[in-house]
Amino acid sequence: MSSEQIIYGFHSITSHIRMDPLSIKEIFIDEFRTDGRVGDLMKLIETHQIKYHLSSKDRLDGFISNQKHQGVVAIIREVKNKHVTIEDIVESEKLEPFLFLILDGIEDPQNLGACFRVADAMGVDAIVCPKDNAVGLNSTVRKVASGGADSVPFVVVTNLARTIRYLKEKGVFIYGTDDEAPKTINQISFNGSVALIMGSEGKGMRRLTKELCDDIFSIPMLGQVESLNVSVASGICLYEINRQK
């Protein structure tokens, strides 16, 4: 099953070409841009024989309203990843422990895109999100992700609590983050397969999600700022998990 989607921005498009050139249907480029970034993109386009058009700024603006497309827009054939369920990933033949990032109701596409970048850098096996009350994988997410949305599986589930219970049954230890948790991240020993839960912007984890956690910790704050952006907090936690492993 496939559908079409728009992505934009040089980094997002070049990353997508390098990872899956056959998924690019066509690319639209600002007819007045002749700089080095366009030249580099054209080399990739010619190498992979991708269809392209030189377009007016108005046409590009028509694809992406109120967004900074940087003069380049692409239409991609979005092919559904065969590993769309958490069961497929957990039951794969991966030898090393699993590492999952569960986002409990993230609604800001900028935050989700940044989380994809962090997840890619930290070797996360999949990002798990609930279907309702959360942002999906749209063009803004893909641009901010800078290729991360193509490399990290995105698992959307109808019942997050059921998914967490399934992971626990499969030996995945569930850690939640909470600004008010008395235990801090440097007091946690991360072993085996881990799922890290990050709560939504401003609200944190929902009550049932928090109750299903095996342990909950906070990130020590040494300055005046009371809380961190979800992607920054995810990066800190995932780095510590990897450092201990």
Cβ-contact 177, 144 below 8 angstroms:
no
What confidence category does residue 82 fall into, taking pLDDT thresholds of 50, 70 and 90?
very low
Domains along the sequence of the chain with CATH: 2-79 (3.30.1330.30), 86-244 (3.40.1280.10)
Q: In this predicted structure, what is the pLDDT of residue 138?
A: 79
Share of the chain above pLDDT 90, in %: 53
Residue 217's identity, in one-letter code, is F
Please give the residue that has the higher pLDDT: either 12 or 80.
Answer: 12
0.85 exceeded by pTM: no
Model pLDDT for residues 169-215, shown as the tens digit of each residue: 999 999 999 988 999 999 999 999 999 999 987 788 999 999 999 99
- Predicted confidence (pLDDT) at residue 115 exceeds the cutoff of 90: yes
Cβ-contact 146, 117 below 8 angstroms:
yes
Alpha-carbon distances of 227 from 19, 70, 199, 220, 221, rounded to whole Å: 35, 32, 12, 10, 8
Q: Which two tokens stand for residue 34?
A: 């002749």
Share of the chain above pLDDT 70, in %: 95
What gap in Å lies between CA 156 and CA 130, rounded to an integer? Answer: 6
What gap in Å lies between CA 132 and CA 203, rounded to an integer? Answer: 15
Q: In this predicted structure, what is the pLDDT of residue 78?
A: 64
What gap in Å lies between CA 126 and CA 14, rounded to an integer? Answer: 22
Mean pLDDT value of segment 77-92: 71
What confidence category does residue 67 fall into, taking pLDDT thresholds of 50, 70 and 90?
low
Mean pLDDT value of segment 41-48: 93
Model pLDDT for residues 125-161, shown as the tens digit of each residue: 999 999 888 888 877 887 788 777 777 889 999 999 9
Q: Which two tokens stand for residue 84?
A: 């769309």
Q: In this predicted structure, what is the pLDDT of residue 84?
A: 66
- Predicted confidence (pLDDT) at residue 80 exceeds the cutoff of 70: no
